Chains A and B, each alone.
Chain A
């Protein structure tokens, strides 16, 4: 037992060391930076609560937080709906099943920057595919990424498209776990397709839905590469994200202390939002 304990510690040590160096230390460092001014070059100076005080009334930061909520209000419901619908379709005995599954998983394995550039072309006002199709069916072209009202929704739709394959897999795994006996029972009871979905499938998938909500929320708060590549945060800062603001403060303004403060605030906001989501969805246990 003692020898086993020793070997266990030894085997776990490299990863623990890795965690210490690349996770614990940076987090501690970031927490310390909240109370510092640092421009990356000179030695950090103590700032007290300056950073926190500035952040509390920083319109740009709160604008970015508000933008994130706009993003989430579209992204999360759309992500659940699309992933669930596709998973239900792919859960049947289909011809060429692996082809369908691969097709929807394709964007997940492609770099976010590539997808962002690709969609900038699709969303392009004059030459983009989407407006081309709109004009074909007799509608007006929409300046997707240059209109303050449509830019963030457009990015939310794109991110949903990119990630749906990942969440489909989560839902498919959940669907396989619904006991065969329950499915047979509800069929014998004579439930319609809608009733089967509403009273068996949907409640059974609650843990998966909870996971999708949590992951897509966190993903939304960490939105960075898409606005960075596609809009630069514009138009009128409507796609400015919290991480984009953090990045700008850190590497354009060299305000590392302030950037760290934004990062810590972001972590707290994510924690609070996910906590509230889990409480509300968890209490809806009996849907």
Chain B
């Protein structure tokens, strides 16, 4: 009885976790799919490709965007740490 409930709990948790993780896995696997395959729901691309990544690097100023994000994140973290601790101390 106890084991049965345990199994039930883990089964429910697995199902719930799957609804949280599967969409992201699908998103990640789609990055390796050619455009025609994006509609398919399988996690493993039939014709895996790095084209999407190549296009992204070529077309979008990705390095610049990454730098911008890193810059914003660093500035905010430092400023919050500095002024926040000062204010808390006050």
A: residues with CB less than 8 A from B are: 7-12, 14-15, 18, 86, 89, 92, 94-95, 100, 103-104, 106-107, 110, 118-119, 122, 127, 129, 132, 161
Contacts and interface: CB of A to CB of B under 8 A. Distances in A.
Contacts of B70: none
Interface of B: 9-10, 12-13, 16-17, 19-24, 26-27, 39, 41, 83-84, 86-87, 89-90
A127 B87 contact: no
A104 B21 CA distance: 8
B61 to A, nearest CB: 18
User: DSSP class of B's interface residues: helix, strand, loop or mixed?
Assistant: helix
B17 A9 contact: no
A8 B17 contact: no
A86 B24 contact: no
B80 to A, nearest CB: 10
Given A100-B13, A104-B17, A15 B86 contact: yes
Given A8-B90, A89-B9, A103 B21 contact: yes
A104 B24 contact: no
B13 A15 contact: no
Contacts of A10: 90
A15 B20 contact: no
24 contacts: A8-B90, A11-B86, A11-B89, A12-B87, A12-B90, A14-B87, A15-B83, A15-B86, A89-B13, A92-B9, A94-B10, A94-B13, A100-B13, A100-B17, A103-B17, A103-B20, A106-B20, A107-B20, A110-B24, A118-B24, A118-B27, A119-B23, A129-B26, A161-B20
